[in-house]
Amino acid sequence: MLTHILVPTDFTEKSEKAMDIAVRMALQDGSRLTLLHVIEIIEDTEGKEFEDFYEKLGKRAQKKMQRMLEPFKEHALEIRQEILYGNRVTEIVKYAGGNAVDLIVLSSHKIDPSSMGQGWGTISYKVGVLAPCPVMMIK
């Protein structure tokens, strides 16, 4: 039985599909959900330098999360919202490991069979390999 499902989002339509599937799973198991957005930071910069910039991105992400959760308000689910700053893959994997996440549900992409060597460096692939728990990729 799942108790905690993590749904990383980039606010795309595919992420909304992943959220819909995660909600349906949580309703069956009585799991709690966490909707997570990671704001990628610019490497080798001081925090103060871009503080206003990241604050604006955080506020915008919060509004987008609220809109993304609108369709699920009628469900009796605990859905937590988290916004983190850093490397997307690192923060998703770290969050899952530190918060007793049983399953990560995230959007992915289709691999073109004619160029199978490309696309392996994506966030979803890296999370799938590095996560401390099972990962469900939604296409």
Where do the domains of the chain lie? Answer: 4-138
Of 108, 120, 28, 13, the C-alpha closest to 5 is: 28
pLDDT score of 115: 67
Q: Write the pLDDT tens digit of every residue in 33-50.
A: 999 999 999 887 766 778
We find that the CATH architecture of domain 4-138 is 3-Layer(aba) Sandwich (3.40)
Is the pLDDT reported for residue 116 higher than 80?
A: no
Residue 108 CB-half CA count within 13 A: 18
The alpha carbons of the chain give a radius of gyration, in whole angstroms, of 15
Beta bridge partners of 32: 4
Q: CA-based angle 38:101:133, to the nearest 5?
A: 100
